[in-house]
Amino acid sequence: MKKATPPAKPRAGSYHHGDLKRALIDAAIHIINRHGRRALTLRAVAAAAGVSKNAPYRHFTNKEALLAAVAEEGFRELTRRMEETARRTDDPLERIIQESHVYVSFALGNPAQFDVMFGFDLMSFAQHPTLLQTASVSAQHLLDLVRQCQEAGIVRQGDVVRLAFGAWTLIHGFATLAVNGLVPFPIGKEHELQEILREYAMSYLEGMQERT
Amino acid sequence: MKKATPPAKPRAGSYHHGDLKRALIDAAIHIINRHGRRALTLRAVAAAAGVSKNAPYRHFTNKEALLAAVAEEGFRELTRRMEETARRTDDPLERIIQESHVYVSFALGNPAQFDVMFGFDLMSFAQHPTLLQTASVSAQHLLDLVRQCQEAGIVRQGDVVRLAFGAWTLIHGFATLAVNGLVPFPIGKEHELQEILREYAMSYLEGMQERT
DNA sequence: TGTACATCAGTGAACGCGCGTTCACTGATGTAC
DNA sequence: TGTACATCAGTGAACGCGCGTTCACTGATGTAC
């Protein structure tokens, strides 16, 4: 079962519903992850939140705005999980391996949301500044991670953006293909996924060591 | 300008249109790449092919079938370009670098089609056997490539599927992120894209060398 | 070679549905005096 | 503390549109005799 991030403050002193905006976002995330992108209609979201079909317009100017909120919440949750994982160890190598796992797990557990987060057709990042900002926090986290690897001598010196983007590329590609069921070997069990990601991360990092 | 793959045999002795099926697929590809996924409606495709809005039903059982054809044609074209590139050199290292470039270029040039090719929500591969088969030809091509690298001693021995999938993962991730405009450095010019892909491919292959 | 018939690619009109969105409203809550 | 008013979250009905799909048809082509 998926629990909403922090308890979402019931805000006792609120108007009728309590915190409908929050409830709508949660409902939208639930629907999109369970039933796919096409099932995400404003009507369905409103119904799931137990509210009439045009109530959402009090909180979102239109459907796209709700979708942007779904994506934004996705980035926030992803960052939260990665940071939580980072706190568990000091070893930057282990961090990068564990966080790769978190990234792919998030994608597998929230396939359609993940798709929206990186879907260019449905909306453009530029039009949703807070989304852009939230997404760049995730990116920044990765950047820091790679910088730590550089400092620890695991990864060679050089443009950290290029190095980090390479790592992201690998993990993001894995996540994308995994979501679409295109991984040609079993990753259903936790340890299988762990193992293969460890292998890939190690290989990538080896390739990223100082060149002779 | 995009030319249909081979001249698509006008089939002079055909009924009214000549080869409407082919024309519909071409029109669909044109529309989806130019105006995005949402603009791809059967009506628009029919209109673009200069035919009434229900004529497509003579050739496709429904919209999803047309979409599957669009995806299939994408894999066919991608494979064609990769094979063409492979023919230009005997050096497996150079092949893998050049074909990476072809892969990403295809994605950038045909963003929405690329999206459909790997979009799980709109259809499931399993329901379209010929699509699955065409896609696996692309996969097989990559597998052969990595095997050649093994034989040339560029890549270590071991499970070729795992090694190849890792490479795919990297390139596919790059393509996906590039399509969404998320690459944090310029790749607009040909040589910029070439250069960064060469860097990544080299790093990946270094990581894939024999381990001590 | 000519006629009668079968086939089937493409037509035109229409159906029905689900959707995002708008409008005029209601009624609960917060606030000024 | 009590009353009058303003605010605004949520309602119910309806609009209008675009879409996929169906239906009965038409008319060009291929084929049998």
To which H or E segment does residue A125 belong?
Answer: none
Q: Does the reported pTM lie above 0.85?
A: yes
To which H or E segment does residue A144 belong?
Answer: helix A129-151
d(CA B164, CA B156): 12
Low-confidence ranges of chain B (pLDDT < 50): 1-14
Q: How far is the CA of A54 from the C1' of D10 (A)?
A: 8
* pLDDT for res B123: 60
* pLDDT for res B7: 29
Contact by Cβ (8 Å): A31, A49: no
Instruction: Please state the separation of Cα A97 from the chain's center in Å.
Output: 16
pLDDT, mean of residues A110-123: 83
Ranges A116-125, A199-208, B7-16, most confident? A199-208
Q: How far is the CA of A16 from the C1' of D7 (A)?
A: 13
Q: Which residues, in sequence order, are CB contacts of B86 under 8 Å at separation 6+? A: B95, B99, B141, B145
Mean model confidence pLDDT for chain A: 89
C-alpha to C-alpha distances, B91 to A119, B7, B8, B46, B56, nearest whole angstrom: 36, 31, 33, 45, 45
pLDDT tens by residue, B5-63: 332 333 333 456 779 999 999 999 999 999 999 999 999 999 999 999 999 999 999 99
Say if the Cβ atoms of B174 and A169 lie within 8 Å: yes
Strand C bases within 7 angstroms of protein beta carbons: 8-14, 18-23, 28-30
Q: Which of B111, B119, B203 sits opposite A166 (nearest CB)?
A: B203
* pLDDT for res A10: 34
Say if the Cβ atoms of B120 and A203 lie within 8 Å: no
Phi, psi of B124 (to 5 degrees): -110, 135
In terms of pLDDT, which residue wins out, B175 or A3? Answer: B175
Token match 């250069």: residue?
B195
pLDDT tens by residue, A34-87: 999 999 999 999 999 999 999 999 999 999 999 999 999 999 999 999 999 999
A127 falls in which pLDDT band (50, 70, 90)? confident
Contacts of A205 in chain B (CB under 8 A): 207
- Could you list the beta-strand ranges (E) of chain A: none
